[in-house]
Structure 1
Amino acid sequence: MMFLRLIGESFGFAFRALRENRTRTFLSLLGVTIGILIIIGVFSAVDTLRANLESSVEKLGSKTLYVQKWPWGGGEDYPWWKYVNRPDPDIRDFAALRTRMTTAEAISFNIDIGNRMAQYGNNNVSGITVSAASHDLFDIRKLEIVQGRYFTESESNRGSNVAIIGATIAEGLFPGGTDPIGKSIKVLGRKVNVIGVFKKEGEGMIFDVSMDNAVLIPLNFGRNVINIRRADSYIMVSALPHVSLDETESELRGMMRSIHRLSPQEEDDFSLNKTTIITAQLDAMFKVINLAGGFIGIFSILVGGFGIANIMFVSVKERTHIIGIQKSLGAKNYFILSQFLIEAIALCIIGGLAGLSIVYLLAFLVKLMFGLAIVVNIGMVILTIVLSTLIGLIAGIIPAAMAARLDPVEAIRSK
């Protein structure tokens, strides 16, 4: 009980000192607040960027393989000359894979052609992507339709002139809340009936995989209106739930080599792309970003810590005679030590909470104004509190130890 009473009195002394020196307290808090704000802000920005990038990757499917002419990648060392003469995946490849694959849950053939225009009456939307896909695309991409429906099996097989449009196109062609279902729009010089509208997804940060600005038509209809030689064609293969992606990839590679009649000595004339390629690149990139963010945070914290230490030395100097009186009345060294340590820790914790509050306020304003959700990791919040306590402890230990070792007679004379 005596120990708890002494600790309570130490808190009282510390907070009275903070209240009596408001300007100095504010300046001390400012250094710590800015330091914590920078470190939390940097890592929140990195986490937000990572979350948005991973969201774009997830749209591609974690258990989906893409048979394409070009491998995913890029950069200055990208050997484009090795792939430029490869054939594009075609309908024969798709038909053969559907017949032979045993580890695939669904297989879809897709054709994309960009920078087109959709028109309805006097309204038009330019820069859209027209996509023609086989019926299984819905099972692979897990597309969400907020109005209308997806193609029926018979519509896909017959190649009916029907379409599902993205949310951005629906807003542009049918302003004022007009129901687009059942309306005929003009795409690629042909009229198509709108049977559905995709849920608004927002733009991706890696690949343009959003359906907001796309018109999806059945493959058998698209083959008649799209020049495949000028379009991007690819095959999507999703693995069965109980089968690993590596197993499906191994079978798919063997099937494609067999279909293209490649000898064992010949290299693949196709690419099998998957999201793990992107996630590996993201992991490597974020290791560098986190390292840079860590250095920025460390320097910010050091600046705040030096500021606290400086203020604590001044505080000890100003209160030397009070320390002498306390010691002459029987105050123990640990009582004096605890006063200054608690004051330093309190400064850092208050500064840390202030910095954290500013981060949450900025996150709220960004979401309110721009619709971007800022990710504030709870682990970073806990780390902030721990760091604030450690900074106060380290910054205050030397001034507090100096105060505790003062001779009471000399301390009283200092007045």
Structure 2
Amino acid sequence: MMGNPGKMSQEDSHRLKALFEMATDGIITMSTEGIIENLNFAACALFGYEAEELKGQKVNILMGSYDRTHHDEYLERYHKTQQPRIIGIGREVTGRRKNGEEFPLRLAVSEVNLEQQTIYTGMLHDLTDFKRAQDRVVQLNAELEDKVEERTAALRQREKELQRALGKERELNELKSRFLSMASHEFKTPLSTVLSSVELIELYREEVQQPKREKHIGRIKDAVNQLTDVLNDFLSLSQLEQGQIAVSPRLTDLRAIISTSVESSEGQLKEGQKVILKLAEEPSRIVTDPKLLRHILINLISNAAKYSSPGMEITITSGWQDERCFISVADRGIGIPAEDQTHLFDRFFRARNVENVKGTGLGLNIVNHYLQLLDGKIEFESELSQGSTFTILLPAQKDI
């Protein structure tokens, strides 16, 4: 004979109580006013209270600071609107243990309608381990992203290094090609001159043919000097590339170094060309490497003569500019095309309007390197068919 299904037997009551106590999640029952009526062992352990300490207390004693102060508002709003925020839905909230520690938990509240009253049942699950694991995942992801960024940055840096290396290799190959082209021309022409002049000299054996012999001897000397200049340029470039140029600064008489540089360049002057000096009284002496400065000035004077017509003047000016000593070498020669001026100090570069003038395209590149060693710099102004002015700036002291 079956019992009344509307009533719970004592056995069922014991079974339900056992399930209530054995549940791994915390369970709390409370009145509609939020007063705790009962709670299981897991709930006590979760919050660090004995059951008797919580029974009769408002449930907000177990809530974090924000929810604790707003709990009554939640209940009042639900009673008025029947629109649940937690009841029947569940959400993540902050719990507060007896020792004041706050922790994350998952709260699901059910509304239970009994014969004589309505109660709320809260199911509480501690999310501390889950949050800790979640934070660890976030941390690992961040570390992974950092490593990916580091690896990506390293790969990009490596790519840039490879691009630079490839660029240098291409530049080197281009320089080799330009060097071979230039060298074959610069060596072949004077060597051919030497060979033909020697052959002709052998034919001029009579005394009356002495002027012809002297003419060809002069051609041989010019060709040898040309080859010497080319080799000197190559030697200077090689020494610069290998860092073998030693700088030996000392107190230098500026007028004297300019004068000796002009004298050394006289052999480069064309017929009727002369050098005009417009040197200021100061600075009279500067601390620099006279040998390197002399090489710089000889190169600039030689270029001025080379790219100017016979009879044209070359003007050298010195003085102060922007607290530095300046020396300018100006000519009224063929000038430099505007489109070529950007590359003027590149190795082996020669402007398009100097194809018929002998040269290696190394002179200004070497001058620029020498000036860097002297902590100086070079500037220029040029206009096609009107001439060029090259100005070197060197550190100096007015008190010297």
Structure with more relative contact order (C-alpha pairs < 8 Å, separation 6 or more): 1
Q: Please give the range of the TM-score, normalised by the shorter of the 2 chains.
A: under 0.3
Q: Which has the higher helix share?
A: 1
**TM-score between the two structures when normalised by the length of structure 1:** 0.22
